[in-house]
Structure 1
Amino acid sequence: MSCALLSGAQAQEPLRAEVMHWWTSGGEAAGVRVFADAYQQAGGTWVDAAIAGGSNLRAAAINRIVGGHPPTSSQFNTGRQFDDLVGQGLLVDLDAVAMREKWRDVMPGPIADAASREGKFYAVPVNIHGHNWMFYKTETFEKAGISQAPKSFDEFFADMDKLKAAGLTPIAWGGEPWQEALVFDAVLLSEGGKDLFLKVYRDKDEAAVQSDDFKRVARTFHRMRDYVDAGAPGRKWNDAANMVITGKAGVQIMGDWAKGDFIAAGMTPGKEAGCALLPGQDAYLMGGDVFVFPKQTGAAAATEAQELLAKTLLDPATQIAFNEKKGSIPVRTDVDVSKMDACAQRGAALVKDKANQIPSINFLVSADTVGALQDTITSYFNDPSATDEDFAADFASVIGAAQ
């Protein structure tokens, strides 16, 4: 089943689109309202179906799609999370739209590839999230005697000592497996470099995982335990962001969706809200969000609603407005980002260069493998006696069986 752009007059009745997503925090909610308003301005009716938590939302969406009661569209992360739905023939092939709108010409190659299967688009990417950011409150840094973001991990840990001496929690840590794995991947890229990162996740090179460089990355990651408070286990990412926003903690290592909460709190990124990539690399560890369009049965209006929604999500003006709220950068590289915040402008500039486009783990391995690695990373981080040798061995066994 192919999807084509709407032409001619819109149907007299508004095109109803039920959209499932997990965007419920302050910055996320502001972002999704941009999409909802744009869709309604285009002549449709947006029916919001939010479920907090990515894994909760994905499970609910998959159950509905497989069960024959699909929404108009559902959010997934950019990558391989919707492989099974494509394999079962349950998603609309969007390639006609993609070719007509020249999606591949305006999106980074890794993003377009992650939204495609066998060369055809099965999802609409809506943003690019950087996964290797560090956010801080400039006022907090100044009070602790820190003048700028660290340029190396030696400087990073020296700054964490200053924050601890000032009576603050140095790192606002989100103690969930996906968050801890995200921080590990950011350290792997920053401390280990692009080549090691790609050998591990793209090439699934067990020897690279057993290397001294990988073990050094592991030790750097594990050392962060010394700067985390006792309340970290189970903490949500937005609660960790609030610790930084309120001056209770020094830094948060998180994807740039956290920036959306700083914006929602009235802070300007690059000014009151400081942002820096983890030290060591200028490469951009790219993630993001996509919307899939399940095949519909019944009225033609359901398909027309999907067509209108697909067009709306990638409208250039909507892309800017959405990503300004969400904290991410536009998935379109042909839009003017000069009025976006300083952090977004830096991210967009980095992504212009193919050499800086580093795909996240979600692009490169299956969802099952991602889950197994998250368990391995969490176990290592939360065990004070764990060794880098044992961690490397456990990690290599998962990578060796990766799909």
Structure 2
Amino acid sequence: MNKMEMTLARTLLATAAVITLNGVAQAGEVEVLHYWTSGGEAKSAAALKAQLEKQGHSWKDFAVAGGGGESAMTVLKSRVVSGNAPAAAQIKGPSIQEWAREGVLTNLDETAKTEKWDTLLPPVVADVMKYKGKYVAVPVNVHRVNWLWANPEALKKAGAKLPTNWDEFFVAADKLKAAGIIPVAHGGQSWQDFTTFESVALGVGGADFYKKALVQLDQASLTSATMEKVMTTFKKVKTYTDKNAPGRDWNLATAMVIKGEAGMQLMGDWAKGEFVAAGKVPGKDFLCAAAPGTAKSFTFNVDSFAMFQVKGDDKVKAQKDLAAAILSPEFQEVFNLNKGSIPVRLNMPMTKFDDCAKLSSNDFVATNKGGSLVPSIAHGMAVSSAAQGAIQDVVSQFWNDDKMSAKDAVTKIATAAKTK
């Protein structure tokens, strides 16, 4: 080999080494803690994994079952305390700020600026993702919580119509019961009880009452006659559930509506993912409507990933790419089509989405302008986790205790709301 050939060989080897090193730096592992384990949710998580793997990174799945996420948060706390936090964890609402105060989250402003998040997100959502004005989390979607799902064949068989208020709801429930159909599919778990309570509170009291009572935790509103009426209506819903409801997972309750064993379910729009995964068509095989009395309001639940501090350039790069991928138009479309939610990006076309999603998207925009877009207390968007947990405990206690009066429940909720 002559001198020129040797020089060329060395150059090629050096170039290859640089390419290899760059490849290593670009490809990293990202460990993601989430609680998307049901059919529609698992498909959604797989879509995010595929998006990241396209960029050469590896996804380490850390799924913890439990629809409300309580189990996942318990696991996360133990991991963070032991100094072994995942790169990303499914956290939302005021809990994001609670974690940020601990100094364990990473600053995403560089990615946010590059990707123009401030122009893509509604301010009410962007604010939840920030701590002291800096992004520490990225939103995935917008769920509407105040939905009513129904099986049209079951309603037809019972001679009932889809209700628009609580009086009509109980009329339909009576007809379903008379026809031998379980009126309300429910899973007797604390978070599901709270989800039902939230829709009842919004439907009975309206958006202004909801904001005062369940966002601002105003004592006068919490102890009012309106709240007592909320509790009475809420307890009446229970009389239309079946004896096997205690402990049932939410997706199994949705399956009851899919099969026509039950007529209706009060649940967020993640339930739609179950209908779609079962091959059902909205408007034909199932009906979606705002929960009784809530057509002009919207309780939102925004899924998001808080990003924890990680070590190693490869892991930091993978984490940043994950954050960017979450808000990419491609992922927003695929993910939300699977999940039953709507894109959190403001400029997303809804052409591929079904009528339920289009209604949700239109209402999201309209209620944002009209002041009736409110955070879900049941799904960790409205108040501190301590206050939420205390109120949720009382709500479930009331649901399960036939001896507790609505008046007693109101007093206990007002006391629970003072929990710091």
TM-score bracket for the superposition, by shorter chain length:
over 0.9
Q: Does 1:101 align with 2:119?
A: no
Residue 365 of structure 1 contacts residue 402 of structure 1 at CA under 8 Å; is this kept in 2?
no
Instruction: Give the deviation of 1:10 after TM superposition.
Output: 10
Q: How does 1:181-220 map to 2 (within 5 A)?
A: 181-220=194-233
Instruction: Give the deviation of 1:269 after TM superposition.
Output: 2.4
Q: Does 1:292 align with 2:292?
A: no
- Quote the Cα distance in structure 2 between the aligned partners of 1:227 and 1:197: 24
- Quote the Cα distance in structure 2 between the aligned partners of 1:280 and 1:315: 35
* Cα distance change of structure 1 residues 161 and 59 upon mapping to structure 2, 3 Å threshold: same
Q: Does 1:398 align with 2:411?
A: no
Query: Partner amino acid for 2:299?
Result: L
* 1:16-55 Cα distance to aligned partner (Å, 9 max, x none): 2121111110010111111111111232222212111211
2:135 maps to which residue? 121
Tell me the TM-score normalized by structure 2.
0.90
Cα RMSD (Å): 1.7
**Equivalent position SS for 1:193:** helix
Q: Does 1:17 align with 2:35?
A: no
> What are the ranges of 5 or more consecutive residues in structure 1 without an aligned counterpart?
1-7
1:56 maps to which residue? 71
Count of residues in Structure 1 that have an aligned counterpart in Structure 2: 392
Sequence identity percentage: 38
User: Quick check: 83-92 or 193-202, which moved more?
Assistant: 83-92
User: Quick check: 97-106 or 272-281, which moved more?
Assistant: 97-106
- Quote the Cα distance in structure 2 between the aligned partners of 1:32 and 1:393: 41
Instruction: Give the deviation of 1:384 after TM superposition.
Output: 1.9
**Equivalent position SS for 1:250:** strand
Instruction: Give the deviation of 1:62 after TM superposition.
Output: 2.4
- Quote the Cα distance in structure 1 between the aligned partners of 2:288 and 2:271: 11
- Quote the Cα distance in structure 1 between the aligned partners of 2:77 and 2:168: 45
Residue 104 of structure 2 contacts residue 308 of structure 2 at CA under 8 Å; is this kept in 1?
yes
2:87 maps to which residue? 72
- Quote the Cα distance in structure 1 between the aligned partners of 2:267 and 2:164: 17
Residue 375 of structure 2 contacts residue 382 of structure 2 at CA under 8 Å; is this kept in 1?
yes
Instruction: Give the deviation of 1:11 after TM superposition.
Output: 4.1
Instruction: Give the deviation of 1:112 after TM superposition.
Output: 1.5
Q: How does 1:4-403 map to 2 (within 5 A)?
A: 11-13=22-24, 14-53=27-66, 54-76=69-91, 78-147=92-161, 149-281=162-294, 282-297=296-311, 299-353=312-366, 354=368, 355=370, 356-361=372-377, 362-399=380-417, 401-403=418-420
User: Quick check: 256-265 or 349-358, which moved more?
Assistant: 349-358
Tell me the TM-score normalized by structure 1.
0.93
Instruction: Give the deviation of 1:9 after TM superposition.
Output: 12
Query: Partner amino acid for 1:115?
Result: M
- Quote the Cα distance in structure 1 between the aligned partners of 2:409 and 2:76: 34
Residue 92 of structure 1 contacts residue 122 of structure 1 at CA under 8 Å; is this kept in 2?
yes
**Equivalent position SS for 1:23:** coil
